[in-house]
Amino acid sequence: MDISQIHQCFLQCQSISIDTRKIQPGGMFVAIKGERFDANTFAQEAIDKGASFVIIDNPTYFINEKTILVNDSLIALQELAKFHRNYLKLPIIALTGSNGKTTTKELIHVVLSKKFKTKATDGNLNNHIGVPLTLLSFDSNTEIGIVEMGANHQKEIAFLCEIAQPDYGYITNFGKAHLEGFGGVQGVIKGKSEMYDYLSEHHKKVFVNLDDSIQEQKTRAMDRITFGVNHSQANTSITSVVANPFVEIGFSYLLIHSHLIGLYNANNINAAVTIGRYFGVSDTDIQQAIEHYIPENNRSQLVQKNSNEIILDAYNANPSSMAVALDNFSQLKEKNKIVVLGDMFELGEESLKEHQAIMSLLEHQTAIDCYFVGKDFYQSRIEQPHFHFYETFESFAQELQKLQWKNQMILIKGSRGMALERVLEFL
């Protein structure tokens, strides 16, 4: 069965999934092998749960006419997504970057949804499996698709662009994320810029933040739509940016009051404003969309817990995002402030140095009580009276039960694997 025939089967289905726990009646199940399991073994379960078709790559598990046997299920999923993308022929906006991808994607989504039937990446399904699933979630009713792309090594963005074939692209920034896989900061820039390479080669458009010198330089020869703070030559010139703690931006005759914390989120809002305007969304609709957007999933959330105010930014962390979060937090006017920072992952040989660099940012902030959790912070610790170190979350949790913080402004930030949102249970 070739890919066009598989696509005809897919069009008969209500949904597609790689997880039998999420199979819906009338859906399609794709059996993808994992490191610890062979999903082909779940084909019968998928049929029993009402799947219309199952795609497998192990003939041992062939069931009946509902079974589609391919050489490699993952490749089939990717090829099916690419075929479906060309079948729909809808405009697609792709975005990547070291920080702020998911928040920016959500903002673009709510803004464009004011005028168009828009679909976007669900959560952070942004890798070689997530991007195909995102594309396959688009249907004939979708007017604009928004695809988030993540990467932790070279050639990954290039590969995802070949599947999604975006018409527009935006890179949020180039930061110190996944240094181990990319081989340093220059590797990050090269890897993320693969999106520019694709867009340029195919004569597509790019959205550019002129305040970012790397973006500005790399896109000079491209067809670009620009924004920036007080940039008279930009397509959208932002006239004011304030954060205390929520970001407010001014442009044209409007002031937008967001529910996002920290100046580092201003560029995410600015990008959504620019993209919305490019696609003809009215300024008042853009304002309404952004002002009604409330972050969740532990991303720059403001949480009230008893007498404490918490900035919960525990979804992920790298040296760049950690630095801007701390810079923003240090500027807040509250008197009683605490930071709880967890280890940053995937930094390779640079890890201890980068953890020490974060601590040095707080070394002279003696008014802020600092709690560092994780083995890398613990191994690179700097002795300061206001610094406290815990090698594991469990040892920190024991201390938390004794501390009984009250009337504090608390920043919580760390990599996803640290799951620092657990701190809330002890406050």
Q: pTM of the entire structure?
A: 0.87
Structure tokens at 49: 């749960």
Overall average pLDDT of the 401-422 stretch: 93
Residues of the chain with CATH 3.90.190.20: 301-426
Q: What is the pLDDT of residue 217?
A: 95
| pLDDT band (50, 70, 90) for residue 134 | very high
Does position 36 have pLDDT exceeding 90, yes or no? no
Describe the crossing of helices 185-192 and 156-164 by its angle, rounded to 10 degrees.
10
Name the segment(s) of the chain with CATH classification 3.40.1390.10. Answer: 3-75
Average pLDDT (162-182) is: 86
Distance CA 136, CA 30 (A): 12
Residue type, 289: A
pLDDT of residue 100: 87
Pick the closest to residue 286 from 308, 299, 302, 271 (CA basis). 271
Is 402 in a helix, a strand, or coil?
helix
In the three-class reduction of DSSP (H, G, I as helix; E, B as strand; rest coil), residue 150 is classed as coil
Degrees to nearest 5, angle at CA 139 with 8 and 162: 80
Q: Is the pLDDT confidence value at 298 over 80?
A: no
Report pLDDT for 154: 85
Within the chain, all domains assigned CATH 3.40.1190.10 are found at 90-292
What is the architecture, at CATH level 2, of domain 3-75? 3-Layer(aba) Sandwich (3.40)
> In CATH terms, is domain 301-426 a member of 3.30.1510.10?
no
* Tokens, residue 5: 């025939």
Share of the chain above pLDDT 70, in %: 99
- For the stretch 253-274, pLDDT in tens is 889 999 998 888 999 999 999 9
- C-alpha–C-alpha distance, residues 17 and 22, integer Å: 7
Average the pLDDT over 293-312 and give the result. Answer: 86
pLDDT at res. 185 = 81
3-state secondary structure of 418: helix
3-state secondary structure of 399: helix
Q: Say yes or no to pLDDT of 177 above 90.
A: no
Q: Could you tell me the two tokens for 353?
A: 């140095």
Tens of pLDDT, residue by residue over 58-73, are 999 999 999 999 999 9
Sheet holding 67-69, edge to edge: 16-17, 28-30, 53-56, 67-69
Residue type, 221: A
**Domain range 90-292, CATH architecture:** 3-Layer(aba) Sandwich (3.40)
What percent of the chain is modeled with pLDDT above 90? 78
Mean pLDDT throughout 9-18?
95
Rounded to an integer, what is the distance from CA 281 to the centroid of its chain? 24
Average pLDDT over residues 139-156: 93
| pLDDT above 70: residue 307 | yes
User: What would the two tokens of residue 374 be?
Assistant: 């994780």
Could you check whether the bond before residue 132 is cis, i.e. omega within 30 degrees of 0? Answer: no
